[in-house]
Structure 1
Amino acid sequence: MSATFNHTIIASKNRHESAAFFHDLLEAEEAPAWGFFANLKLDGGVLLQFAEPPVDIQPQHYAFLLDDELFDRAYAKVRERGIEHWADPQMKRAGETNTEHGGRGVYFRDPAGHFVELITRPYL
């Protein structure tokens, strides 16, 4: 069997708020919560687990590949909620999307301060 990505734990200030944010934005399937985790399931069975660590949260980068229709819906939610967003990871092109790599992309922060990237075409 080759290696596949199975799950990651995303540090959150409020695991339920973060899970709800990604559930709505990505239209992700809810998964049963257990222990310290609020869980979402993406295509392919990839699990996003949200937890509140007992330490300061260091911002991470999470990129999600979306089809064009989901990107349109997610980006509309970003704009409707007044979430500051950029076309570039350097945060210089505010309020825009990009057309890099033959698709569209946008960068913003989630409720815990992590950098989120939505793209419509993979880089490779």
Structure 2
Amino acid sequence: MPVELNHTIVPARDPEASARFLADILGLSVDPPVAHFTPVTLANEVSLDYDRFDDFAPNHYAFLLGEREFDAALARLRRGGITHYGDPACREAGQVYRSGRTEGRRGTYFHDPEGHLMEILTPGRARP
């Protein structure tokens, strides 16, 4: 069997609110609790298991979306007044990046309520 990522723990002071925030942006559902985790399962069956932590360092999470799903998520960010950025340093507010390495790839970054840096991006096409 090939190696696959099954789940990852996402630290949060308020796991339920953080899971709901991300699920709403991505157009997903929050799964029923599993023990003390609040999971959000992605299309490839990887789950983000939100867990309560009082102290943690923010992480970066990137989500690959189709073109229509990206446009819908970007519209939800904008409707929600959530600032998004064209760069991971968060200096290019309101921007969407276009990758120079992958033709047609678009992406943007935003922070969740816990300070994690979230990224949504499209697959694009590899340059010949």
Cα distance, 1:73 vs structure 2: 0.8
Equivalent residues, number: 123
In structure 1, runs of 5+ residues without a counterpart are none
Match of 2:13 in 1: 13
Match of 1:25 in 2: 25
**In 2, are the aligned partners of 1:65 and 1:122 still within 8 Å (CA)?**
no
The DSSP-based 3-state class of the residue aligned with 2:48 is strand
Match of 2:81 in 1: 82
Match of 2:69 in 1: 70
Amino acid at match of 1:47: S
Cα distance, 1:122 vs structure 2: 6.6
Cα distance, 1:31 vs structure 2: 2.4
**In 2, are the aligned partners of 1:37 and 1:49 still within 8 Å (CA)?**
yes
Supply the distance in 1 between the matched residues of 2:124 and 2:24 (Cα, whole angstroms). Answer: 22
Supply the distance in 1 between the matched residues of 2:125 and 2:14 (Cα, whole angstroms). Answer: 31
> Hey, which bits of structure 1, 4+ residues long, moved more than 4 A?
none
In structure 2, runs of 5+ residues without a counterpart are none
% identical equivalent positions: 37
Supply the distance in 2 between the matched residues of 1:85 and 1:9 (Cα, whole angstroms). Answer: 24
**In 2, are the aligned partners of 1:86 and 1:92 still within 8 Å (CA)?**
yes
Supply the distance in 1 between the matched residues of 2:69 and 2:17 (Cα, whole angstroms). Answer: 21
Q: Pairwise mapping of residues 1-124 of structure 1 onto structure 2 (< 5 A)?
A: 1-53=1-53, 55-100=54-99, 101-102=102-103, 103-121=105-123
CA gap 1:2/1:50 in 2 versus in 1, 3 angstroms: same
Q: CA RMSD in A?
A: 1.7
Name the structure with the higher helix share: 1
**In 1, are the aligned partners of 2:62 and 2:121 still within 8 Å (CA)?**
yes
CA gap 1:85/1:122 in 2 versus in 1, 3 angstroms: same
TM-score for the superposition, normalised by structure 2: 0.88
Cα distance, 1:56 vs structure 2: 1.2
Supply the distance in 1 between the matched residues of 2:90 and 2:125 (Cα, whole angstroms). Answer: 19
